Amino acid sequence: MIIAVNTRLLLENTMEGIARYNYESLKRMVAAHPEDDFYFIFDRPYSKKFVLGDNVHPIVLFPPTRHPVLMIYWFECAVYKLLKKLQPDVFLSGDTYLSLRSKIPTLLVSHDLAYLHYPDHIPLSHRLYYRYFFPKFHRKATEIIAVSQFTKNDIIRQYGISGDRITVAYNAGNGHFFPIPESTQIEIRRNFTEGKPYFVYLGSIHPRKNIENLIKGFEQFKSAYRTDHKLVILGRLAWNTATFLKTWNQSPFKQDIIQTQIPRKDLPRYIGSAEALCYVSLFEGFGIPILEGFEAGVPVITSNVSSMPEVAGNAALLVDPHDPESIKSAMHQIATSPELRKNLVEKGFQRSMDFRWEKTAEILHEKLVKIASIRIE
């Protein structure tokens, strides 16, 4: 089988949720199916690490695509022409975009419809692009992979697409995080937070991640209980960060709030040394940091909305992300109950075993085989 793959998001040192899903599932699919030929389509020079096997054939189509106008050109001209020339059996697009002109059977991976729920969190140019093209992409796809049951239900509800065309294939942990010895935890806290315990957030910083309410919940926790805890925010400033910066700079506990970035190779030590991982996003199609907290052996506080309860199961404390008081209460429970922390860590390890990239890759490949013989008229 000849499989063309949209790999434009595989960029070294900048792989976040969607790119990580593509990389981890493709790595396993390529290895498990040497009989297939994979044509990886990049939009800029690529790292050799992304040529995942001898059966991978990389192709670069310019220009780099981040602006909506360039995305339209790339998918509807460059990718369309390449697919017409290659005539692969199937096209796999792991980032929710596809070529509307192509007649090649297409498997689309849909990660979330956040633009519909929180449109003000997205630049106007992208918002208009998503509103026009995303419904078309989903309806055009031969079949759809959703990264959670919540996302599947959202697609059905928002676009009126039959559930028979949508299959759930979860994200998984990356095996990058693991429990840290107590001696290392003490060293990290001594060097990083003056020996003080800390709550940690991991992820990019933009409005949907709800860092402002996390800070407000932390402020209430500090005010009510006079603790020496700190809040560590590990992530890059992505977009629309003015409100976050204002909330942080005006916080009466600013000196106890640290925002920084840590090299990925060092993240396990900093996550594994935390009192708990706090991921109180307003909306997620999945929420990989929840699993990363589980794997790191720390308690997790996460939101009770969208896909996050589905991912967390009974292994995390669920809070109302719109209510700082709810966040404060969860922090207090974690800080004062060793038994609760131990229980959550044990449940987190068990819950993380339910998510495996091998299973995701298997589901994707089964769907590719299924639709490979279909030609769209």
Which pLDDT tens digit goes with each residue over 115-145? 999 999 888 999 999 999 999 999 999 999 9
Using the Cα atoms of residue 224, residue 230, residue 235 and residue 237 in order, give the sign of their dihedral: positive
pLDDT at position 174 is: 81
pTM assigned to the model: 0.95
Identity of the residue numbered 335: A
Average pLDDT, the chain: 96
Element (H, E) at 188: helix 182-192
What phi and psi values does residue 5 have, to the nearest 5 degrees? -130, 130
pLDDT of residue 15: 82
Question: What integer pLDDT is reported at residue 66 of this predicted model?
Answer: 87
pLDDT number for residue 345: 98
pLDDT value for 332: 98
Q: What is the secondary structure of 20-67 as a DSSP string?
A: HHHHHHHHHHHHH-TTSEEEEEESS---GGG--STTEEEEE-SSP--S
Q: pLDDT digit string (tens) for 258-274?
A: 999 999 899 999 999 99
Question: pLDDT tens-digit profile of 90-104?
Answer: 999 999 999 999 999
Q: What is the CA angle 329-261-151, rounded to 5? A: 60
Q: What's the pLDDT at 376?
A: 54
Answer yes or no: is pLDDT of 14 > 80.
no
Residues β-bridged to residue 166: 144
pLDDT value of residue 210 = 98
Q: What is the pLDDT of residues 175-206, one digit of tens each?
A: 899 999 999 999 999 999 999 999 999 999 99
Domains of the chain and any CATH numbers: 2-172+356-371 (3.40.50.2000), 182-352 (3.40.50.2000)
Q: How confident is the model at residue 47 (pLDDT cuts 50, 70, 90)?
A: very high
Of 376, 362, 40, residue with least CA distance to 172: 362
Q: Over the range 297-308, which residues count as b (16 or more CB within 10 Å of their CB) and which as e?
A: bbbbbbbebbbb
Residue 30 has pLDDT above 80, yes or no: yes
Q: Give the mean model confidence (pLDDT) for residues 199-224.
A: 97
pLDDT at position 374: 80
Across 217-362, the runs of DSSP E, i.e. the strands, are: 230-234, 257-260, 276-279, 300-303, 317-319
CA distance 87 to 251: 58
- Asked whether residue 323 carries a pLDDT value surpassing 90, the answer given is yes
Identify the H or E element spanning 2.
Answer: strand 2-6
Tokens of 272: 């594994």
Q: In terms of C-beta distances under 8 Å and separation of at least 24 residues, what long-range contacts does 58-67 make, across chains too?
A: 65/8, 67/125
Say whether pLDDT at 288 is over 60.
yes
Mean pLDDT within 39-59? 97
By the 10 Å C-beta count (0-12 exposed, 13-18 middle, 19+ buried), 90 is classed as buried
As a whole number of angstroms, the distance between CA 137 and CA 95 comes to 11
Sheet holding 90-93: strands in order across? Answer: 56-60, 37-42, 2-6, 90-93, 106-110, 143-146, 166-168
- Report, as an integer, the average pLDDT of 6-10: 97
Question: What percentage of the chain has pLDDT greater than the value 90?
Answer: 94
User: How do residues 65-92 score in pLDDT, each as one tens digit?
Assistant: 989 999 999 999 999 999 999 999 999 9
pLDDT value of position 144: 98
Q: Minimal CA–CA distance to 60: which of 110, 11, 111, 1?
A: 11
- What values do phi and psi take at 303, rounded to 5? -85, 155
Helices 211-225, 242-249: inter-axial angle, 10-degree rounding: 10
pLDDT average, residue stretch 290-317: 98
145-159 tens-digit pLDDT:
999 999 999 999 999
Percent of the chain with pLDDT over 70: 99
344 pLDDT exceeds 90? Answer: yes
Reply yes or no on whether the pLDDT at 314 is more than 80: yes
